[in-house]
Structure 1
Amino acid sequence: MGNLGDGINYAFFNNITYVAPKVPTLLSVLSSGEHATDAKIYGSNTHSYVLQPHDIVEIVVNNQDSGRHPFHLHGHTFQVVQKSQAFEEDEQEAYDPDNHEPFQKYPLIRDTVILEPFGYIVLRFRADNPGVWFFHCHLDWHLEQGLAIVLVEDPLAIQEQTPPDDFYRICEACGVPTRGNAAGHVNDWFDLQGEPVQPAPLPEGFTLKGYVAFAISTFIGIYGLWSIIQYGLEDAVQDDKAVFDKLERILKDNDMIQVPLLSGNDASEEAQ
């Protein structure tokens, strides 16, 4: 996880944060004909993978942060063939396909599994259910931050299915296009100009706005110190005589004394 150029914190798979396309991916599949088998039409930031029918799919996720993530797959249950313990940041281990714990003879089967801090998971399933399936962290704020990928499974088989009319009516009512690639283009399916993408990386060092903010903050800080000296310490520079006179006046006004107060110097002289 990290901030991008707009200052907002995002989550990533392989440095890509999920950004919803202009045309929902399922509708791109249904309207793209033979182009449906090319993952490019689904956009740069949907992080889509096209799965062929009956592929054996292996998903490896290495956690590079200290959070626990409940990863969930739509459309399938999967075998959990590897699941590491939690690690400290300075001891984290990535999954090594050439050096790992033996696979279980009967792996755990789930549709959700916890990825431990700085750990890893390895999941497997057979692509035998055509559809557009999300794989994502089930913490809603992490999903909102973009921690998701899209699996487009057997797109030509998806095209043999017909969504109900209400499906298109809802899109129309919401102003959502129902044809086109991720950028909404139908004439050139590989033209992604105008597609929704993630913000640019956070720039290194100071930008112009940073310099302006620094200068203003410095000025306000100096002005604040001057104000403290000018007003906050003003009463502290009065001489002792003025302080005693003020105290005597307050006490007399409240009938608390009958004789004048003696200043420090007066008291010394009287003692002599």
Structure 2
Amino acid sequence: MSLMSNQLWRKFLVWIHCFIFLSAIKPLFGSQERHFKWEVEYMFWAPDCIERPVLAINGQFPAPTIRARPGDTMVIELTNKLQTDGVAIHWHGMRQHGTPWADGASSVTQCPIQPGETFVYRFKVDKPGTFAYHGHYGLQRTDGLYGFLIVDVAEGEKEPFHYDGEFNLLLTDWWHRPAYEQQIMLSVKPFRWVGEPQTLLINGRGQYNCTLAPGYANSNSSYPPCNFKGHEQCAPTILNVLPNKTYRIRVFSTTGLGSENLMIANHTMTVVEADGNYVEPFTVDNLGVNTGESYSVLITTDQNPKENYWVSVGVIQRAFIIPAGLTILNYLPNSAWKRPTSQPPRHPKWNDFEYHKNFTKSIFALKGTPKPPRKAHRRIVLLNTENYVDGYTKWAVNNVSLVPPGTPYLGAIKYGIKHAFDQRPPPENFPSDYDIMKPAPNQNGTFGNGVYVLDFNTTVDLILQNANTVDPNVSGSHPWHLHGNDFWVLGYGEGKFSEKEVKKFNLKNPPLRNTAMVFSYGWTALRFVADNPGVWAFHCHLEHHLLMGMAVVLSVGVDRLPELPPEGLACGLTAKLLMRRNHA
């Protein structure tokens, strides 16, 4: 071989090696397809040292944490290994642009996945933040079907804050009574209350029959001390830290009924993110977290390095008389089982509503966050009510308790199957003489499954109005979650919403959220742009209230969608449509 040929051959080999190398590292710098193959099934587990059936994914409880970057395509093959129940998983906070059928809301965007069947969720991640996924069929979230979905910033980009390490805290309330029994209790007449949860779990672990903090009044001090070796299913997940570092703690609440409050003894927390959106940093001693909300907080480990410190979770907004959930912030090289020498921190009283309101009102969008349109094209006022319907106790909106149809809304609307659900539009307001401070003179409501049809690309205000329940002097708080969209929280108020409140809306720096609280006897004003084609659930994120009908459905530009994947339509009238097409 000539010298020239030899040189050309070497250049060719170098080029080939460079091509192979660049092909191998390309996924590290660009968007990826991230594949997961999951099986959902029950297993026996003891999250709080008491064994009961829990829902697990691939044998894990809580379900696996998954991570992605903006632009990535998530492909999750979900197989239902349950014996008799359907299943669906909602990707909480994912906006599902172009893929509303992957939202995971049973009866809204898809049929429940039947036992033995597999459904493929395929969607793109569009922004960084702290998100989660959870069951969206019946009360399956209450049985433990949930996990974190963390979206890191794109390769080469930076967060607007610095940290040296990171932890995830998944908070929930836990019943020993399984979800199917609770569902029956809530669905019969006369209504049977499910009772208080027994335990608060941190990352799927809590202690019911022993205590990590013996002798302290705000722990379950009547029980003996826990003597864990570390491998027990209910042993706490210790948070190991180095002194003089900054840590990001990502928090998501998947509680069924309660709102929770997070405290770290001797440490303050700086809030920097809410529901996947950056906020103006502010510092707190304790963090109020409603179900369906996520936060990122920064802590600095600048305390006495010879000590460990309590991480404590308590209940707010409801009168649950249960001990705080506890784990330990372990300053290395201290032993992970070195108990703190001080008592666990004391949380705000459960009924300190002013504290919780003030915290919520302290959240403002980080400078540079998109601002809302100045005016809305449409306003829908949603009165949160408790009603009796045909002898059943139900939660409702404008006295209508939602009963999802047997055919998913998305397929029915896309293919014009008008008799699949009630075509009459739901009420957009409530009578002006309605007294929200007292039980309604007529406490009877109705069942319904109508849809609010929104014109594409219009600006819509959703006004959440709270009111008295069927019992005197009772008005519970409700955290509302919107699928497929973020909204701006324009304001909160006391009493009945009126037109004069519009002038007080915050149009300068309202936070972008996907979940917002409406407080007792008050109102919350939300604004969003209906520019994401699909059918979207908007509902109270208290699991039991959703089951009992506290939800509405919004339809946006469904005619703009392409053909829907048939896998999510194999039930109800869309199943018959598919059969006719297959035989045509």
TM-score bin, normalised by smaller chain: 0.5 to 0.7
- Alpha-carbon distance in structure 1 between the residues aligned to 2:457 and 2:558: 13
**Which residue number in structure 2 is paired with residue 62 of structure 1?**
465
State the percentage of identical aligned residues. Answer: 31
2:402 to 13, 18, 37: 18
- Alpha-carbon distance in structure 2 between the residues aligned to 1:179 and 1:20: 17
Residue 166 (structure 1) aligned with residue 567 (structure 2): yes
Give the 3-state SS of the residue equivalent to 1:167 in structure 2. helix
Q: How far 1:83 sits from its partner (Å)?
A: 1.3
Residue 114 (structure 1) aligned with residue 517 (structure 2): yes
Specify the code of the residue in structure 1 equivalent to 2:538: F
**Which residue number in structure 1 is paired with residue 250 of structure 2?**
none
TM-score normalised to the size of structure 2? 0.26
Instruction: Pick closer, same or farther for the CA change 1:41–1:84 going to 2, 3 Å.
Output: closer
1:83-232 aligned at under 5 Å gives the runs: 83-84=492-493, 93-99=495-501, 102-104=504-506, 105-158=508-561, 161-168=562-569, 171-172=570-571, 176-178=572-574
Specify the code of the residue in structure 2 equivalent to 1:106: N
Specify the code of the residue in structure 2 equivalent to 1:163: L
* Deviation digits for residues 19-73 of structure 1 (CA, Å, limit 9, x no counterpart): 111322111112118x79x982789812311111111011111101311111000
Instruction: Pick closer, same or farther for the CA change 1:100–1:57 going to 2, 3 Å.
Output: closer
- Alpha-carbon distance in structure 2 between the residues aligned to 1:67 and 1:167: 35
CA RMSD of aligned residues (A): 2.9
Instruction: Pick closer, same or farther for the CA change 1:56–1:179 going to 2, 3 Å.
Output: farther
Q: How far 1:145 sits from its partner (Å)?
A: 0.9
**Which residue number in structure 2 is paired with residue 224 of structure 1?**
none
- Alpha-carbon distance in structure 2 between the residues aligned to 1:162 and 1:132: 14
Q: Which has the higher contact order (CA 8 A, sep 6+)?
A: 1
Specify the code of the residue in structure 2 equivalent to 1:115: V
Specify the code of the residue in structure 1 equivalent to 2:476: G
Specify the code of the residue in structure 2 equivalent to 1:40: Q
* Deviation digits for residues 123-175 of structure 1 (CA, Å, limit 9, x no counterpart): 100011000001100001100111101001012113xx22223223xx24xxx
8 Å Cα contact 2:395/2:549 also seen in 1: yes
Specify the code of the residue in structure 1 equivalent to 2:449: T
Give the 3-state SS of the residue equivalent to 2:505 in structure 1. coil
Specify the code of the residue in structure 1 equivalent to 2:563: T
**Which residue number in structure 2 is paired with residue 4 of structure 1?**
389
- Alpha-carbon distance in structure 2 between the residues aligned to 1:9 and 1:78: 31
Unaligned runs of 5+ residues in structure 2 are: 1-385, 427-446, 469-474, 577-584
8 Å Cα contact 1:39/1:50 also seen in 2: no
Give the 3-state SS of the residue equivalent to 2:396 in structure 1. coil
Instruction: Pick closer, same or farther for the CA change 1:42–1:23 going to 2, 3 Å.
Output: farther
Specify the code of the residue in structure 2 equivalent to 1:151: L
* Deviation digits for residues 203-254 of structure 1 (CA, Å, limit 9, x no counterpart): xxxxxxxxxxxxxxxxxxxxxxxxxxxxxxxxxxxxxxxxxxxxxxxxxxxx
Give the 3-state SS of the residue equivalent to 1:141 in structure 2. helix
8 Å Cα contact 2:411/2:564 also seen in 1: no
**Which residue number in structure 1 is paired with residue 423 of structure 2?**
40
- Alpha-carbon distance in structure 1 between the residues aligned to 2:502 and 2:566: 50
**Which residue number in structure 2 is paired with residue 203 of structure 1?**
none
8 Å Cα contact 2:533/2:557 also seen in 1: yes
Greater helix fraction, Structure 1 or Structure 2: 1
Unaligned runs of 5+ residues in structure 1 are: 86-92, 181-272
Q: How many residues align?
A: 165
- Alpha-carbon distance in structure 1 between the residues aligned to 2:397 and 2:565: 33
- Alpha-carbon distance in structure 1 between the residues aligned to 2:567 and 2:501: 51
TM-score normalised to the size of structure 1? 0.55
Following superposition, which runs of at least 4 residues in structure 1 exceed 6 angstroms of deviation? 41-44
8 Å Cα contact 2:425/2:452 also seen in 1: no
Give the 3-state SS of the residue equivalent to 1:98 in structure 2. helix
- Alpha-carbon distance in structure 1 between the residues aligned to 2:424 and 2:411: 12
Greater strand fraction, Structure 1 or Structure 2: 2
8 Å Cα contact 1:31/1:179 also seen in 2: no
Specify the code of the residue in structure 2 equivalent to 1:79: W
